[in-house]
Amino acid sequence: MICGAPRAAGAETASVRSNVRAFRDERFTVWRCTECGSIHAQDEVDLAHYYARYPVFDAALDWRLRTVYGSMLKRLQAGGLKPGDKVLDYGCGKGVLVRFLREQGYDAEGWDRYAEGWNDDSVLARTYDCIVSQDVIEHVDSPHALLDQLHGMTNPGGIVSIGTPDAAALDLKEPEDFVHALHLPYHRHILSMAALEKAGVQAGFAVVRRYDTMYNNTPVPTMNPRFVLHYVRCRDDVFDLVVEPVAFTWKMLSPLTPFYIFFGYFFDRHTDIQVIFEKKAA
């Protein structure tokens, strides 16, 4: 849990389908904490079973990822990342961001519990100047335990970047409209910006930068979440499409298609946030 409050009688709930093609016929229940507004998965699931067919593990470092990772790198640099810093991508998938950072001259490592070849726990016994944990904290059983672990692996003066959906922006009355941010059954606990910052401070960090939009929201045509959402809805509305070859359908003849291609950057729904924390020097 996030705030420690028990589930209250009458807490808001929703039944949500999986947004991964292999499991889209399965539905899962979530509920919202009446105290802190965080969203929690109700169902106990075998995550290893679901991660075995996880689409992002098939991602390749193409021009699209280079574009959005360039945006991520600028945020990290603004938050304190320096040339020569040692970086860990915690929850790295198949290590695509690690490869990008190495190309940019950083000493980067990666770790992911569910990705073969990237789950060497010896990586977690080292310390780093920068840890990137993008779309991880909502996947774990205990967000507080994760933040404590990251704090222990961060050098004094180092930074930790946490990217995650924003519970405050997700309307459980319209779960299908937010099916990709809810991303079941993979997301276990979704925090708000306020809850994330509070948990980070409790773990011993200080907030140095915050963003109310995901790093992949760029002014580059097509490289914004609003267009991506429009695109997947024109297809079969599953998460898998973000790593599959682009294909057009008659639904994309809508005037919204060129609009979001070029102007989607300005119409982000702010369903994702990023906070960069600093571990104070001793």
Identify whether 255 is preceded by a cis peptide bond (ω within 30 of 0).
no
Residue range 124-139: average pLDDT? 97
Radius of gyration of the chain (CA): 18
Please indicate, yes or no, if residue 7 is contained in any of the structural domains: no
Confidence tier at 190 by pLDDT (50, 70, 90): very high
Determine the average pLDDT of the residues in 203-211.
97
Residue 1 lies in a domain: no
CB neighbours of 281 closer than 8 A, spacing ≥ 6? 156, 157
Query: For 235, phi and psi rounded to 5 degrees?
Result: -100, -130
pLDDT grade, residue 17 (50/70/90)?
A: very high
* Enclosing domain of residue 209: 13-279
Mean pLDDT of 112-129: 94
- Inform me whether the pLDDT recorded for 184 exceeds 90: yes
Model pLDDT, residue 27: 98
Segment 251-271, tens digit of pLDDT: 999 999 999 999 999 999 999
8 within some domain: no
Here the tokens at position 274 are: 């990023």
For the chain, list the strands marked E by DSSP.
Answer: 13-17, 27-32, 39-41, 86-90, 107-111, 128-134, 154-165, 189-190, 205-211, 272-279
20 closest CA partner among 275, 242, 278, 255: 242
Judge whether 149 lies within some domain. yes
Count Cβ atoms within 10 A of the Cβ of residue 169 and give its class: 0-12 exposed, 13-18 middle, 19 or more buried: middle
Number of domains in the chain: 1
For residue 282, pLDDT beyond 80 = no
242: pLDDT strictly greater than 80: yes
pLDDT > 70: what percent of the chain? 99
pLDDT at 176 over 80: yes
Q: Is the pLDDT of residue 9 over 90?
A: no
| Position 175 in a domain | yes
Strands 107-111 and 86-90 turn out to be: parallel
Residue 18 lies in a domain: yes
5: in domain: no
Cβ 226 vs Cβ 257: under 8 Å? no
The values of phi and psi at residue 263, to 5°, are -125, 5
Q: What is the percentage of the chain residues whose pLDDT exceeds 90?
A: 86
Q: What is the pLDDT of residue 80?
A: 96
CA atoms within 13 A on the CB side of 210: 13
Q: What is the CATH number of the domain that holds 20?
A: 3.40.50.150
Query: Is the predicted pLDDT of residue 1 greater than 70, yes or no?
Result: no
pLDDT value at residue 112:
94
- Assess if residue 3 is contained within a domain: no
